Amino acid sequence: MTISETWLLPDGVADVLPEQAQVVETLRRAALDFLAVRGYQLVYTPFIEYIESLSSLSESNQDLDLVTFKVIDQLSGRLLGVRADMTPQVARIDAHVRPIEGVARYCYAGTVLHTKPQNFNATRAPLQLGAELYGHDSIEADVEMIDVMLALIEHTHTLDGAHLDLGHVGLFRSLVKRAGLNKNTENQLSDLYQRKALPELEEFTKDLAMGADFYALGRYASDLDALQTHLSQDILNDIDFKNAFDALKSTLTQIQSRWSNLNIGIDVIELRSYHYHTGLMYAIYAPNRAAPLAQGGRYDGIGEHFGRARPATGFSCDLYALGATQFVEIETIVAPKGSEQDLLKAIADARLNGLRVVQLLGNDDLSSVPYATHQMVSQNGQWVIEKI
């Protein structure tokens, strides 16, 4: 690489410049403070671990394994993974490092690394912030996580025009089990659902066991009443399907009562990370944005890899994406050079009030601080701040 190219960064990786860094850091602090008062305890996890530790999810979620960078440890010769998601690490803490009894609530914020961008125009190094609840398998735990997620977005961003999507992988999973489908057919159906390909779905399910139910699941994915009307009594009597259906309806009712002004939709065939999630799934979207602001769901048994399977639910978001449309002008006050006590006190007082003050050096003038917005000048023996 020539000298002229050494400043270039890999695709999907970018510097965060002062204005955006200010936004992101403000979001991070506000979010972690918000989660703290909700009882979520902050944890820091290592950027890199033995791949076996990170594989607690990748065994059931090949997508996560594919986006995990892997390197050889020069000390041990073992394979290491750079974290692509912090949930496996928090699961390890809950199961092995800090195995407390009862409910555990954790939150985190840190950079993760992906081999490929996960969404259009997304970074490969998101600043992931999330919250997770371990040790409770009730609907109330899922409702708490959704409520915390929505309140966090409202606190740090905005819910104006936002849309919440709710789903439950148990509907599709129990129908697949009831019909006795093989893995290949299951994957084909999942792909059709993900693409919302109704004509193809109708053709594919014609000769399929319980095909009418599979088609109804796709055709009426956003209307629980219509879906219930068009499903066979056979699947409606299935205990696993019934539990998932009732859980989804109950969650919808409870979230509507808490967030009456929020636009809430149902999508029972939104099967992102299908093999990873075990129950309710949820995502919050902003207008004119394809990727969610935040998303999460239930992933029971995640700690089994570490010897302690526990029910779990949680959500995460990318702070870079969350703050992408927010801009803040960084006001910078330039003070003249000098060591007079009144000048130094004026600078100190301004900084104590949270103002950003830069004092000139040597023979510098205002042109040496191109991002300056204000200056400190002496008027009638007093130091005052003027807009440039």
Task: Detail the residues annotated as belonging to a binding site.
Answer: 85-87, 128, 132, 272
Helix axes 169-179, 211-219, angle to 10 degrees: 170
End-to-end C-alpha distance for the chain, whole angstroms: 43
Amino acid present at 140: E
User: CA 178, CA 174: separation in Å to the nearest integer?
Assistant: 6
Tokens, residue 14:
């970018």
**Euclidean distance between CA atoms 95 and 91, whole angstroms:** 6
Three-state DSSP state, 50: strand
Q: Which residues pair with 72 in a beta bridge?
A: 79
Q: How many CA atoms lie within 13 A of 238 on its CB side?
A: 22
For residue 300, which phi and psi values (nearest 5 degrees)? -60, 150
Angle (CA) 86-91-93 rounded to 5° is 100
Contact (CB, 8 A) for 54 and 81: yes
- Which letter does DSSP use for residue 262 in this model? S
107 Cβ neighbours under 8 A, 6+ residues apart:
32, 35, 36, 40, 41, 42, 43, 129, 130, 131, 132
> Contact 150/24 with Cβ under 8 angstroms?
no
Question: Would you list which residues are annotated within the binding site for L-histidine?
Answer: 85-87, 128, 132, 272
Q: How far apart are CA 281 and CA 294, in angstroms?
A: 11
Q: Pinpoint the alpha helices (H) of 164-232.
A: 169-179, 183-195, 198-204, 211-219, 224-230
CB 357 within 8 Å of CB 350: yes
Report the residue count for the chain. Answer: 388
